[in-house]
Amino acid sequence: MEMVLDVYKRPFDNRYPVICMDESPKQLIAEKKVPIPASPGRPARHDYEYRRCGVCNIFMSCEPLSGKRMVTVTERKTKRDWACFIETIADQYTAAEKITLVMDNLNTHVPGSLYEMFLPEKAKALWDRFEFVYTPKHGSWLNMAEIELNVITGQCLNRRIDDIEIVRKETRAWQEARNNKNAKVNWQFTTKDARIKLSRLYPTFES
């Protein structure tokens, strides 16, 4: 935990950007009956019945200090999908000497996934571009990308959508709008706070 918090204290540096990455499923749902649109004095109405149309996966990366984020929607959340998203992040930061990537310890979020997707030379080159920093078990709330996933859900995806292409179109529009606002994350939780508020997680020593 303290390693993640130390990373968040680093000043902005184009050569060594700090990126947070997370992913979340989005269930594709279709209406069974045509919704009744809103009218004066009456809200829009949707029938409680719906039809499941599968699930897609939303990859989110954000650079909290610059106000940039990037969203990719995939059909699955395999090791290969993650590896391709890592390549996309690397392509966005070609001038960086080292990219620090904060993420949870999901079993697909490992360097070995790069070797399953790319030739060894390319996998190693990508691996060398990154410094992987993992949030602790049960501590994924330390990942600032979760904040961005909550925002995109509330502002863009908190409704029934039945087509992955619509999800992709909506998330691209959201990404552009939020990046244009240069929305940043003002992280307040520090190591000092952790040692007080989460003291139960630290060992105790008798004098």
**Bigger pLDDT: 44 vs 63:** 63
Look up residue 35 and give its DSSP letter.
Answer: P
Give, as one character, the DSSP assignment of residue 173.
Answer: H
- Residue 44's pLDDT band, with cuts at 50, 70 and 90, is confident
Average pLDDT of the residues in 136-146? 90
pTM of structure: 0.86
pLDDT of residue 140: 85
> 30 by DSSP, 3-state: which?
strand
Would you state the pLDDT for residue 97?
Answer: 96
DSSP, collapsed to helix, strand or coil, labels residue 47 as coil
* Of 155 and 138, more confident: 155
Burial 170-190 (b: 16+ CB within 10 A, else e): bbeebbeebeeeeeebeeeee
- How many Å apart are CA 68 and CA 112, to the nearest integer? 27
If you average pLDDT over residues 10-25, what whole number do you get? 95
Strand order in the sheet with 50-63: 68-74, 50-63, 18-31, 99-103, 130-134
Least Cα distance to 129 among 84, 94, 83 occurs for: 94
Q: Is the pLDDT of residue 35 over 90?
A: no
Residue-wise pLDDT tens digits, 147-176: 999 999 999 999 889 999 999 999 999 999
Q: Which amino acid is at 10?
A: R
How would you class 103 by CB atoms within 10 Å of its CB: exposed for 0-12, middle for 13-18, buried for 19 or more? Answer: buried
pLDDT at 207: 64
List the alpha helices (DSSP H) in 9-133.
Answer: 79-92, 112-117, 120-129
Please name which of 75, 76, 80, 85 lies closest in space to residue 117, comparing C-alpha atoms. 80
pLDDT value at 52 more than 70: yes
Identify the sign of the CA torsion 125, 71, 12, 142: negative
Q: Which has more pLDDT, 100 or 136?
A: 100
pLDDT in tens, 170-202: 999 999 999 999 999 888 888 888 888 888 777
Asked if residue 42 has pLDDT above 90, the reply is no
Share of the chain above pLDDT 90, in %: 70
